[in-house]
């Protein structure tokens, strides 16, 4: 077991929320965190770079913990445990966005813990994985499927889980036609889940490299961000945080179609026209975080169906550059920090 009181680590903290070009992250040396009862201490092996990290860092989301360490797609090795029997020292575990729920409110009691008003989140309310070590409540740590490298597992822990929930919220019928708007870390995983279930998938993205990746994964078509797909859609998912895309996505839906909006942040939506955008029982649904059941279901799916994870590695020292590259769309797939 690691003796943490005398060990230092490197971490990145959000010192001044603002545009990534202004250097909001500060590199620090500090003592390894000491887990409280019920928590695991985890050595970070890989941490995915999520667009939510960018929203936290740039101040799009309100500050919950001043100077927080971002990162909530953490693959790590347990180095210290409390009395829990769920995990042992040496186990490889996953740390995701959802960190705590009360278990007693009306949402928790009906199985909707993602809506718990007392919920807390990794990399927003508590320090996350842009560091060499972090902690996690044992009840919110996840066993991981075999057959994947650390860098491949990391994006599964938010991009994968949220994409899975967004797909569920989109109510795609069996063999249906799914539209995906934006094709980054989450979308390229959700597309594979839909394809494995027999869906026909159409991708709308401005990035030629992302279009190529989508076609390589087996989608039926890939076109520009606001271009109409070649067929009416039964369901659509908006991954890009761009409110202007809500309108073309709704117009692309067939009667009774559902648009699922996957992000935690979205720019303003323009005025809707009822006849063009909503009539014929088209729907808009938002996605708010995830439940632990979502995580278990998706990670089990990933264990049974080998997903192709496009991961771009960055060293811990390059964490600000990874976020900047994400902001400027410099890669297709997902960025992963490897300490």
Q: Which CATH code is given to the segment(s) 4-157+309-338? A: 3.90.180.10
Give the pTM: 0.91
Place of tokens 């199985």: 111
Residue 4, pLDDT > 80, answer no
User: DSSP readout, 35-84?
Assistant: PPTTEEEEEEEEEEE-HHHHHHHHTSSPPSSTT------EEEEEEE--S-
Give 164-173 pLDDT, tens digit per residue. 999 999 999 9
Domains of the chain, by residue range, sit at: 4-157+309-338, 161-286
Give 174-233 pLDDT, tens digit per residue. 999 999 999 988 999 999 999 999 999 999 999 999 999 999 999 999 999 999 999 999
Which stretches does DSSP call E strand in 96-138?
A: 98-100, 120-121, 133-137
In eight-state DSSP terms, residue 272 is: P
**Averaged pLDDT for residues 38-50:** 96
Residue 87 in tokens: 């995990």
Instruction: Give the 3-state secondary structure of residue 47.
Output: strand
CB contact burial 14-34 (16+ within 10 A = b; e otherwise): beebeebeeebbeeeeeebbe
**Averaged pLDDT for residues 38-43:** 95
- Which H helix or E strand runs over 259? strand 253-261
71 neighbors 99 (Cβ within 8 angstroms): no
Residue 316: other Cβ atoms inside 10 A: 20
**Averaged pLDDT for residues 52-76:** 97
Domain 161-286 belongs to what topology?
Rossmann fold (3.40.50)
220 neighbors 201 (Cβ within 8 angstroms): yes
Q: Distance between CA atoms of 71 and 114, rounded to whole angstroms? A: 18
**Residue 84: pLDDT band with limits 50, 70, 90:** low
pLDDT, residue 86, reads 82
Q: Distance between CA atoms of 332 and 339, rounded to whole angstroms? A: 22
pLDDT, residue 333, reads 83
Higher pLDDT, 227 or 332: 227
């Amino acid at each position: 077991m690691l003796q943490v009181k005398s060990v230092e680590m490197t971490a990145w903290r959000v010192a001044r929320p603002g545009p990534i070009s202004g250097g909001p992250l500060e590199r620090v040396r500090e003592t390894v965190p000491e887990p409280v009862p019920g928590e695991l201490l985890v050595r970070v092996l890989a941490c995915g770079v999520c667009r939510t990290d960018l929203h936290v860092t740039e101040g799009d989301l309100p500050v919950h913990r001043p100077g927080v360490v971002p990162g909530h797609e953490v693959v790590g090795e347990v180095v210290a445990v409390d009395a829990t029997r769920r995990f042992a020292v040496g186990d490889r575990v996953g740390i995701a966005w959802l960190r705590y729920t009360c278990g007693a409110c009306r949402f928790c009691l009906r199985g909707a813990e993602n809506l718990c008003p007392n919920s807390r989140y990794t990399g927003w309310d508590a320090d996350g994985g842009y560091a060499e070590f972090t902690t996690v409540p044992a009840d919110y740590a996840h066993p991981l499927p075999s057959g994947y490298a650390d860098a491949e597992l990391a994006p599964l822990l938010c991009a994968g889980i949220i994409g899975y929930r967004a797909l569920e919220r989109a109510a795609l019928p069996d063999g249906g036609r799914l539209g995906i708007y934006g094709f980054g870390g989450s979308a390229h995983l959700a597309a594979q889940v839909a394809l494995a279930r027999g869906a026909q998938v159409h991708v709308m993205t401005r990035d030629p490299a992302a279009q190529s990746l989508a076609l390589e994964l087996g989608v039926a078509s890939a076109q520009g961000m606001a271009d109409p797909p070649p067929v009416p859609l039964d369901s659509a998912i908006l991954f890009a945080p761009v409110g202007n895309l809500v309108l073309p996505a709704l117009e692309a839906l067939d009667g009774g179609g559902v648009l699922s909006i996957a992000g935690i942040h979205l720019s303003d939506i323009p005025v809707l026209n009822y006849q063009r955008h909503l009539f014929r029982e088209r729907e808009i649904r938002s996605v708010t975080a995830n439940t632990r059941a979502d995580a278990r279901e998706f990670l089990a799916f990933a264990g049974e169906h080998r997903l192709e994870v496009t991961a771009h590695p960055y060293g811990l020292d390059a964490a600000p550059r990874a976020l900047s590259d994400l902001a400027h769309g410099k890669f297709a797939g997902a960025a992963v920090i490897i300490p």
